[in-house]
Chains A and B, each alone.
Chain A
Amino acid sequence: MNEGAYGGTPFGGIKWSVLFFLCLLVLWQLVVPFLGLPSYLLPTPAQIVEEFGKRGGLLMSQFLPTFYETILGFLLGVAVGVSAGLGIVYSRFLWLTIYPSLVVVGSIPRVAIAPLILIWLGIDSLWSKVTIAFLVAFFPMVINSIVGFSQVETEMLDLAKTMGMGRWMEFRKIRLPNSIPYLFAGFKASIALAVIGAVVAEFVAGQKGLGYLIVVANNDLNAPLIFASIIVLSAMSLGLFGIIVGLEKMLMPWRRGIQPSEL
C-alpha cells in the first residue's frame, strides 16, 4: 500500500536514494574549496565529521536536555490533547466552551509566547522549556483525537445500539480503535512540533541543549558545530518519528493486509 508511483516494495528505491545522497556529499566536499568558501560560512562534510570527533562528548551532553524537553513536551501534549479531545467529543458543554478557545489558542503562533512562558516558569527550569514544547505540540493531538473519536459511521453506531452496546463498550470496541490511525497522525505531527518547541525555547533562554549550542556556536562563528548540532537534532527527530511509525505498524496489522486489487 505504500508503493511508489514506480512500483516495487516500500522503500525499494532505498539504494538509489542513498547513492544520490552520497553523490551530493561528494559534490559538496569538492565544491566548497573550489569556490573558496570559508568554513564559517559553509563547512565541508569532512570538517563536520571532524567536529563530531572533537566535540562528540559536548554534543551528547547537550543532546540529552533537548531530548528530555522534547519527550516530556510531547507526552504532555498527547495526554492533554487526547483528554481534551475525549471531553469535547463526549460533552456538549465542553464542545461549546473549551473547543472554541482551543481553536483560538491553536491560531496563536505559539513560539511567539515562548519568552512569556520563560519569564513565568523560570529561565533555568526544565519545565519552562517542556511547557513551550508542549504548547507547540499539543494542538494536532486535540484535533486528531476529536476526529478519531467522532468520525464513526452513523450506521455503525445504530448497529451498536441494536446490539445492546452501552456507551463504555461502544467507546472500547468502536471509537477507541477507530481513533488509532488518527491518533498516530497526531503523534507524528506532534513529535516534530515538540522538537521545534524545545529548540526555540533553548534559542530564547537556554543554558543547555542543542538549541543553546547552536546559538553559542553561531556567536563563535563555528559553522561546523552548528551543522553537527543540526544533524544530531535531525537524527533525534527521525528516530522518534521512526519509533512512532514502528508502533503504528505493530498496532494496526489490518493496514498491512493484501489489498483487494491484488486478489
Chain B
Amino acid sequence: MASVIQYDKVRKIYNSGDDEVVALQEVSFSVGEGEFVTVVGRSGCGKTTLLKLTAGLLQPSGGAVQVAGAPVRGPLTNVGIVFQAPVLLAWRKAIDNVLLQVEARKLRVENYRKRALELLDLTGLKGFEERYPSELSGGMQQRVSISRALIHDPPLLLMDEPFGALDAITRDEMNLELLRIWHEAKKTVLFITHSIPEAVFLGDRVIVMTPRPGKVSEIVNIDLPRPRTTALRDEPKFISYVRQIRKSLGVR
C-alpha cells in the first residue's frame, strides 16, 4: 500500500518569548492510501499541530512531512479540511458555503452546483440548501463544512475533532455517516479526536499520542469488521481496544 502521508521524525517547537514549548517530538508514522487513521490524545498533545503541519499551514522545526511523496512546503490545496468549529461564512447559504471551495479555485460554479446538492443530500441536508448557517443546528453546520471539504474531490481528508462540539447522540450518528461517505468516496482520512471510542470506531489504525512533549506512545491496529455498526460498540473486542488505549494514555 502506497503511503499518502509520511511523518519522519517530525519536531515542532513553539517559541513564546524565552520559553520553548515542544509541541511535537520525533513523530514518525505513515498513512496509507485509502486508510482511515485516527489520532487520539489529551488536549495539548500536539494533535492539531500535526494536522496543520500536514496541511502545510505550519512548517516543522525538524524532520519532514511528506504528502503524496513530496515534502510539504506551503499550504496544500489538494486536501479537504474540517475543523472542530464549522467555520462557515454567515452571509452565505449552505450551498454557497460549499461552493466557496469551487469559487476559490476559480472553477465554474455552474459545473459544481449539482455535485454540491448531491453532497448536501449525502450529508443529510436535503431541503436545507438555501438556509443560512444561523438557521442550522451545530450538527447541520458541521455537515455543510464536510460537504465543502469534499466538493473538489480531494484524495486526502484532514479532520480536526470535527464532532467535538456535538452532543454524544449526534456524534455517534455523524460517525456512521462519515464512514458511509468515506466508503463511497474512497478517501484517505486523518481524523483527530480526543474521544477514545470514536477513534476506535472510525479507525483502521489509532495513533495514540501523549503530551508534554507531544509524541506517539502507541499505534493500535483496529481489527474490526467493516461496515461498522453501532452494535459494534458493545462487542468485547471493541471494548478491549478502548481499554488498551485508555491504559496507553494513562487514564486512571
Contact = CB atoms under 8 A, between A and B. Distances in A.
A260 B89 contact: no
* A contacts with B: majority SS: helix
B103 A159 contact: no
Contacts of A263: 135, 137
A259 B75 contact: no
Contact of B136 (A155, A162, A174, A260): A260
Nearest to A158: B57
B76 interface: yes
Given A155-B85, A156-B87, A162-B79, A257 B104 contact: no
B101 to A, nearest CB: 6
Contacts of A162: 55-57, 75-77, 79, 81
B81 A164 contact: no
Nearest to A262: B135
Given A155-B83, A155-B85, A257-B131, A164 B91 contact: no
A38 B57 CA distance: 75
B47 to A, nearest CB: 15
A153 B87 contact: yes
Contacts of B76: 162
B13 interface: no
Contacts, number: 68
Contact of B101 (A156, A163, A169, A252): A163
Nearest to B93: A254
B105 interface: yes
A187 B76 CA distance: 39
| Chain B residues touching A, range | 20 to 34
B166 to A, nearest CB: 14
A23 to B, nearest CB: 39
A212 B87 CA distance: 53
A162 B89 CA distance: 16
Given A173-B100, A177-B91, A254-B134, A159 B105 contact: no
A160 interface: yes
Given A173-B100, A257-B131, A155 B87 contact: yes
Interface string A172-198: 011001101000000000000000000
Contacts of A258: 135
B132 A257 contact: yes
A253 B91 CA distance: 8
Given A159-B81, A159-B87, A162-B55, A173 B135 contact: no
Interface in A205-263: 252-255, 257-260, 263
B52 interface: yes
A169 B100 CA distance: 11
Interface string B54-97: 01110000000000000000011101010101010111100000
A257 B134 contact: yes
Interface string A16-51: 000000000000000000000000000000000000
A161 B56 CA distance: 9
A260 B79 contact: no
Contacts of A180: 91
B135 A158 contact: no
A252 B87 contact: no
Contacts of B136: 260
A164 B104 contact: yes
Contacts of B75: 158, 161-162, 164
A173 B92 CA distance: 10
A165 interface: yes
26 contacts: A155-B83, A156-B87, A158-B52, A158-B57, A158-B75, A158-B81, A161-B75, A162-B75, A162-B76, A163-B77, A163-B104, A164-B105, A173-B100, A173-B104, A177-B89, A177-B91, A252-B91, A253-B132, A254-B132, A254-B133, A255-B134, A257-B132, A257-B135, A260-B134, A260-B136, A260-B137
Closest 9 CB pairs of A and B: A163-B104, A161-B75, A254-B132, A164-B77, A257-B135, A165-B104, A155-B87, A257-B132, A155-B83
Given A153-B85, A162-B57, 6 more contacts: A153-B87, A158-B55, A158-B75, A161-B75, A162-B55, A260-B137
